[in-house]
Amino acid sequence: MSAVREHFGSRLGFILAAAGSAVGIGNLVAFPVAATKSGGGAFLLVYALFVFFICLPVMMAELALGRRSDKDPVGAYREVSGGSRFWRIPGWLALITPFMIAVFYLVVTVWVLGYLVETLRGNLDLLATEAHFGQFINSPVVFFYLVILMLAINGILAMGVKDGIERAAKTLMPMLFVMLLGLVAFVLTRENAMLGIKYYLVPDFSKLDARVVNNAMAQAFFSLSLGMGIMITYGSYMKKQDSIPGSARAVAITDTLVAFTAGLLILPSIFHFNPQIDTATLSDSSAGMIFLFLPKIFLALQDGVGYFGASVVAAIFFFLVLVAAITSLVSIIEVPLATLRDERGMNRKKAIYTVAAIQVVLAIACAMSFGMADWLTSFAPIAGENVSFFDLVELIFYSTILPLNGLLVCLFVIYKWKWANFDRELQQGDPTFAGSISQKYVNFSLGTFIPLILLVVFIITVADKYF
């Protein structure tokens, strides 16, 4: 059993680390794509409502549960429930979910690294060709990039919470903000950029239907790194004197601002590429967007700044996505590490080797499920179709289980831990929270309509994807 639990050194350190977790591929790519296809400003509005009225209370619940128990998710549920058998289940789910999400996210991040390297080598034109992506993901070089990426992430994790996770976030996050703003400033000077801005910001409420609203909810939940045990684990590294509501608000605002700003980058670029574009034809998947469409868009930026200029823009973008993905992966891999340390008494190093060994094997299986190995490519029949191992992992752990985990956290905190105890934890470090409207809202919503909404998201997803 580790003797003294490590904590984040400062409140700002915690906020940047948690924002590092939250800001990921979801913000930089999935959000702008979803906004583009789903009514621009209308989608932004719905998304922002979900972030602040639904997701923020869930984040507070996860952080409070972690800080109260000083434990990983498995330990947190066990301890706070007084050893209940039933409540062991969400504890385990909050361990397996991040473990498996990390696996498919690692693979996508490997591709991002590969695209960054190719751009730096002057091959942006090659990346913009239709056939390249398929060839790239099936070439053995992805395994090399996987090793490099694992070394970088686990290198950060090996240095611990304060000197590893927190220090990396303090360096990388400000860099990410500055680079993102720089790119936005650049694309706004391009021809037809304003068409993109107009498209992005002018609301088109006719595009909002049940499916779009469901997607906005799922996107907000994923973007804030909820339901993955991350905020429980990070909460356990928070100091008692820090405000949970205040910090959670800062994380949600940062995450949403980055997603919004990424739209100011992507939309003008798309409309510079093709002012007449029919946005309905854009791919729904982030991977399709990053690896098939964006290279073409970056290449088109060359009028005015030349091939070199376009390559610099593309390289900065891929670097941004890489940094965002690495800080997210660090947070998600910290969850199983915390479990092995807290529950099995392993030291950090041994935990890292154990988790990394299993994740590498699973990530290789995911990477090979795009044609390299037939049985992994058509791995399991879902809704009458054979889906790949990669798609199956994404479907189960990202699309299906996340809202379920969120639902269980809400019910646990309000009905098992009891809201009075939850409130006491929130008031530690934030005495003004006591009796405030926010407090009343958080308690009421977590005990009533938030779990209900998450249940609906869960049911719609199952009905939509499995049948």
Give least dist CB 426 to ligand PFF, A: 23
Cβ proximity to ligand PFF: between 173 and 414 the closer is 173
CA dihedral for 389, 392, 397, 399, sign (positive or negative): positive
Shortest reach from residue 27's CB to ligand PFF, in Å: 5
DSSP E strands: which ranges in 322-406? 380-382, 385-387
- Measured from the CB atom, the residue of 77 and 234 that comes closer to ligand PFF is 234
Distance of alpha carbon 354 from alpha carbon 343, whole angstroms:
14
For the CB of residue 343, give the shortest distance to ligand PFF in the complex, in Å: 21
**Minimum separation from the CB atom of position 125 to ligand PFF (A):** 29
Burial class (CB in 10 A: 0-12, 13-18, 19+), 442: buried
Q: Phi then psi for 33, rounded to 5 degrees?
A: -65, -45
Instruction: Give me the least distance between CB of 325 and ligand PFF, in Å please.
Output: 7
Beta bridge partners of 382: 385
Of the candidates 340, 332, 342, 293, the residue with the CA atom closest to the CA atom of residue 314 = 293
CB nearer to ligand PFF: pick between 73 and 429: 73
Identify any residues that bridge with 381 across adjacent strands, giving them in sequence order.
Answer: 386
The whole-angstrom separation of Cα 171 and Cα 285 is 30
Query: Closer CB to ligand PFF, residue 251 or residue 414?
Result: 251
CB 333 to ligand PFF: min, Å: 7
| Rounded Cα gap, residues 118 and 150, in angstroms | 19
Give the nearest distance from C-beta 17 to ligand PFF in angstroms.
12
Residue given tokens 């972690």 in the structure block: 66
Smallest separation, CB 22 to ligand PFF (Å): 5
Q: Which two tokens stand for residue 67?
A: 């800080």
One-letter-per-residue 3-state SS of 22-90: HCCHHHHHHHHHHHHHCCCHHHHHHHHHHHHHHHHHHHHHHHHHHHHHCCCHHHHHHHHHCCCCCCHHH
Contact residues for ligand PFF, defined by CB under 6 A: 21-22, 24-27, 101-102, 105, 222-223, 225, 328-329, 331-332
Q: How far apart are CA 172 and CA 273, in angstroms?
A: 30
* Comparison of 254 and 369: residue with beta carbon closer to ligand PFF: 254
Contact 47, 214 (CB under 8 A): no
Nearer to ligand PFF, 25 or 42 (CB): 25
β-strand partners of 204: none
Q: Which lies closer to ligand PFF via its Cβ, residue 102 or residue 124? A: 102
Q: Which tokens belong to 266? A: 């992507």
Q: Which is nearer to ligand PFF, 25 or 408 (CB)?
A: 25
Q: Output DSSP code: residue 395.
A: I
CB of 311 to ligand PFF, least distance (A): 25
For the bound state, the minimum distance from the C-beta of residue 32 to ligand PFF, rounded and expressed in Å, comes to 12
> Which is nearer to ligand PFF, 69 or 331 (by Cβ)?
331
CB closer to ligand PFF, 101 vs 366: 101
- Closest alpha carbon to 239 in 179, 181, 162, 318: 162
Assess contact for 290 and 95: CB atoms under 8 A: no
**Sequence-ordered list of residues with C-beta below 8 angstroms from that of 385, at least 6 positions apart, any chain:** none
CB of 439 to ligand PFF, least distance (A): 26
